[in-house]
Amino acid sequence: MGLSIRALGITSTRSMRKDSVRKNSLQEKRSVRTRMLAEFWFYFAENRGAVIGLRVFALLVLLAIAAPLVAPLPPSEQYRDAFLTPPVWQEGGSWKFILGTDAVGRDILSRLIYGARFSLFIGLVVVTIAISGGVLLGLLAGYCRGVIDTLIMRIMDVILAFPSLLLALVMVAILGPGLLNAMIAIAIVLQPHFVRLTRASVLNEINRDYVTSARVAGAPPLYLITRTILPNCLSPIIVQGTLSFSTAILDAAALGFLGLGAQPPTPEWGTMLAEAREFILRAWWVVTFPGLAILLTVLAINLVGDGLRDALDPKLKKS
């Protein structure tokens, strides 16, 4: 009896010690992470353009979320007595329609605010699909090598052989026009970049000493890939992800403009432009504002992307 109690005592102190060690290392990990974040933010905040871009992007996200609260009018409501009203500062404009109305009397400002929802949603979904698919395939190709590698990379080469918008166009022709199909098509077109990046990083990292030592220590392949290799190829993927975010918005708008993306009366910016095309010489505002919205959004994201690249790329850090 006494013996077993003593044994219990030993095990409990041992497990306590283990616990405290684990806690310490956790805290250490956390503090390393905060320090890395702080360092990253230091370099990122040095870039004035990137900070401005981030602010604009945050504002767009807020606008998109709060669209029903912010938008002055419902986006699809047609005001029959106000076709092609010019913006407020021009003769004939009114405060009711600050940026004017389109050919069927819908308020452009409200449609733009709702449109932010679509653009950001498109960017988010496309990048999520492209990154998860691309990283998975890239890891597979880089880790397995051999036939699987060749097969995956050749398929990616084929996708990249087509001009991206053309391939997206044809895929939408197959799947049928619509926002969802457009997003799938764009994601497929953007994916090869992530596959190539991930594969290159994996090949670069896999022969490094720290990976070898983890393998010698008996780390299973899955652990090796997700915990050891992946975090080290993260920064180029993040940068490419930001770039793809803006490309996705641009391409989706282009598809909408060609009539193959979001369908009217969806207040998607590209679709709005397509509807406005015939009025370009009569009512400049129906064309100008949706495009300006696309430009500003893409510009903000690209500014953030440039800042991220500078902050994450250690090669450029010192210069």
Summarize as ranges the residues that interact with another protein (CB under 8 A): 49, 154-155, 157-158, 160-167, 169-170, 173-174, 176, 246, 250, 253-254, 257-260, 270, 273, 277, 280-281, 284, 287-288, 290-292, 294-295, 298-299, 301-303, 306, 319
> Nearer Cβ to another protein, position 228 or 266?
266
Q: Is 272 helix (H, G, I), strand (E, B) or coil?
A: helix
Q: How far is the CB of 27 from another protein (least distance, A)?
A: 32
Q: How far apart are CA 139 and CA 190, in angstroms?
A: 17
Q: Which is nearer to another protein, 178 or 215 (CB)?
A: 178
Q: How far apart are CA 159 and CA 133, in angstroms?
A: 14
The CB-of-113 to another protein minimum distance in angstroms stands at: 18
Per the listing, tokens 């602010």 go with 55
Nearer to another protein, 229 or 308 (CB): 308
Instruction: For another protein, give the closer residue by CB, 16 or 292.
Output: 292
Q: At closest approach, how far in Å is the CB of 11 from another protein?
A: 51
DSSP state of 107: B
Shortest Cβ 82–another protein spacing (Å)? 22
Smallest distance, Å, CB 318 to another protein? 11
Residues contacting 135, CB < 8 A, separation 6+:
194, 195, 198, 230, 237
- To the nearest whole angstrom, how small is the minimum distance from the Cβ of residue 218 to another protein? 38
Residue type, 182: A
User: Under 8 Å CB-to-CB from 242, ≥6 apart: which residues?
Assistant: 301, 302, 304, 305, 308
Q: Which is nearer to another protein, 118 or 257 (CB)?
A: 257
Largest distance between two CA atoms of the chain = 98
Percent helix, strand and coil across the chain, each to the nearest 5: 80, 0, 20
Q: Which is nearer to another protein, 73 or 285 (CB)?
A: 285
Q: What is the CA radius of gyration of the chain?
A: 26
